[in-house]
Amino acid sequence: MKKTLLTTIFITCLTLTAVAQEKAEVKTPTEKTASKEDKEAGKAKKEANLLEAFKIAAITPEEQVKMREFIAESGEYGKQLRADPDFTDEEKIMKAKVYSKIKNARMKELLGEAKYKAYREAVNAQKKTK
């Protein structure tokens, strides 16, 4: 009698475990879809914020093209830096700070002092409202 009871409990536990794993696998594709939608919404918000900052700083369309190219280059550099296994986290932070100073100088060069200042203020205001 004890063997039968223990065997029944064991089989029930195995069955429940298998069903729980199947249900977890079904939920995973839904989560991936949601994250894609979140990414698209994030990209749209980022683009809207960038356009608003350009508008506030009165940046011309030609300057906008140059800024977008530079922002893309900066983003690519950041991705490469984060992915580089040769540097420690502290070295990556130091390199990012140095590059940030270079990036800000380049943006001043592209926009001029007044437009750069207005652009930075707009971007900082957007960051505070998040």
Domain count, the chain: 1
Task: Summarize pLDDT for 50-79 with one digit per residue, the tens.
Answer: 999 999 999 999 999 999 999 999 999 999
* Mean pLDDT rounded to a whole number for the chain: 83
In this predicted structure, what is the pLDDT of residue 23?
56
pLDDT tens for each residue of 74-106: 999 999 988 988 888 899 999 999 999 999 999
**Residue 2 belongs to some domain of the structure:** no
Is residue 11, in this structure, part of any structural domain at all? no
In whole angstroms, give the CA distance from residue 92 to residue 86.
Answer: 10
Domain-located, residue 94: yes
**What pLDDT is stored for residue 68 in this prediction?**
92
Residue 83 lies in a domain: yes
Q: Considering the domain boundaries, does residue 12 fall inside one?
A: no
Assigned token pair, 88: 């420690």
Q: Are 71 and 107 in contact (CB under 8 A)?
A: no
